Amino acid sequence: MSGEALLRFAAVCQRYEDGSRGLEECSLSIRPGSRNALLGPNGAGKTTLLLHGVGLLRPARGQVEFQGRPLDYGRAGLRQLRQRVGLVFQNPERQLLSASVYEDISFGPLNLGLPEAQVRQRVEAALGAVGLADCRERAVHQLSFGQKKRVCIAGVLAMEPELLLLDEPLAGLDGPMRREFEALLEQLAGQGITILLSTHDVDFAYRWADDLHLLAEGRCLASFPARELPRQQALLAAAGQALPAVLGLHRRLADLGLLPDEPPRSLDALLAALDGAAPDLKRNPA
């Protein structure tokens, strides 16, 4: 199992300087090429876990492994790691450090020491990937919140990471922006980038992720494929999460014999399944 993991947390323990708990015997694995969602209440350690993933925090006990090897916290080791693992923070305001979009995205590649021509090429590619090619010359403070989030992602993509960590990428986005953002995540996963994100939105996690990881009080309670979520309700409750809305509905409708036993992953899928079931019912209205 550990041989095939891209990133692995092995019984990681850590406390913050002020004495508050960071992680407590936290263990989980991320498979290469998979889509992963971290679920858990505020304070469960989701952000802390992501910071450990790029070596910004260091375990007091236990270890973090990348491709089977424990992280090297020396300068060269961290440099190598951060080339391959990118982290996008929740709040774009805290992360965008330059006044111009172009400049901000070039920050990482320049720090990699790449020649200018290659930096320009990477910035262009990253701008294109997040759909902001038109904004390259804008000032950061003129952008909308959703655009700022995209610039943050572009700044990380320009370093061409294999693993992308995103802290609450959907927080603060309105309806249309969320849909655009989900499409972007879809596209990045399609390019073979492994993704680990934290979210409060259990409906989204259930329909998007391959693997779910439940965090509570600094521990990973469980990791399982998203399709098994309907059988993990007790664990979900232990991590303070509500059940995805679609599951409650599906259960009732399946009890009524309107839907097959296998639950759909989203309300849209449930509606589609109902449409399939409709003809039968129309013929025998209750």
Give which of 22, 25, 28 is closest to 9, Cα–Cα.
28
Strand, helix or coil for residue 277 = helix
Range list of H helices, 21-144: 46-53, 75-84, 101-111, 116-129
Distance CA 62, CA 7 (A): 14
Residues in binding contact with a second copy, number by CB under 8 A? 41
Q: Which is nearer to another protein, 156 or 273 (CB)?
A: 156
Q: Which is nearer to another protein, 17 or 261 (CB)?
A: 17
- The listed partner (another protein, a second copy, none) that binds 191, CB under 5 to 8 Å by sort, is none
- Minimal distance in Å, beta carbon 232 to a second copy? 16
Strand, helix or coil for residue 24 = strand
Per-residue interface string for the shown chain with a second copy, residues 161-190, x marking contact by CB under 8 A:
----------xxxxxxx-------------
Q: Does 258 bind a second copy (CB under 8 A)?
A: yes
Q: Which is nearer to another protein, 117 or 286 (CB)?
A: 117
- The listed partner (a second copy, another protein, none) that binds 176, CB under 5 to 8 Å by sort, is a second copy
CA angle centred on 51, ends 45 and 56, rounded to 5°: 140
- Minimal distance in Å, beta carbon 17 to a second copy? 14
DSSP label at residue 264 = P
Strand, helix or coil for residue 72 = coil
- Minimal distance in Å, beta carbon 99 to another protein? 4
Inter-residue contact 220 to 213 (CB < 8 Å): yes
Contacts of 5 (CB under 8 A, 6+ apart): 29, 30, 31, 32, 65, 68
Q: Does 227 bind another protein (CB under 8 A)?
A: no
Residues 95-134 touching another protein, rule: CB under 8 A, are: 95-100, 102-104, 106-108, 110-112, 116, 119-120, 123
- Dihedral over alpha carbons 85, 89, 93, 98 (to 10 degrees): -10
Q: Is 194 exposed, middle or buried (0-12, 13-18, 19+ CB in 10 A)?
A: buried
Phi, psi angle pair for 232, to nearest 5° = -120, 35
Distance CA 117, CA 17 (A): 43
Identify the residue among 42, 117, 137, 190 touching a second copy (CB under 8 A).
Answer: 42
Q: Does 274 bind a second copy (CB under 8 A)?
A: yes
- Minimal distance in Å, beta carbon 28 to a second copy? 20
Q: Does 284 bind a second copy (CB under 8 A)?
A: yes
Q: Does 259 bind another protein (CB under 8 A)?
A: no
Q: Does 280 bind another protein (CB under 8 A)?
A: no
Piece of 101-109, 122-130, 139-147, 218-226 that binds a second copy (CB under 8 A): 139-147
- Minimal distance in Å, beta carbon 77 to another protein? 12
Q: Which residues bind a second copy (CB under 8 A)?
A: 41-43, 144-146, 171-177, 200, 202, 240-242, 245, 248-249, 252-253, 255-258, 267, 270-271, 274-275, 277-278, 280-286
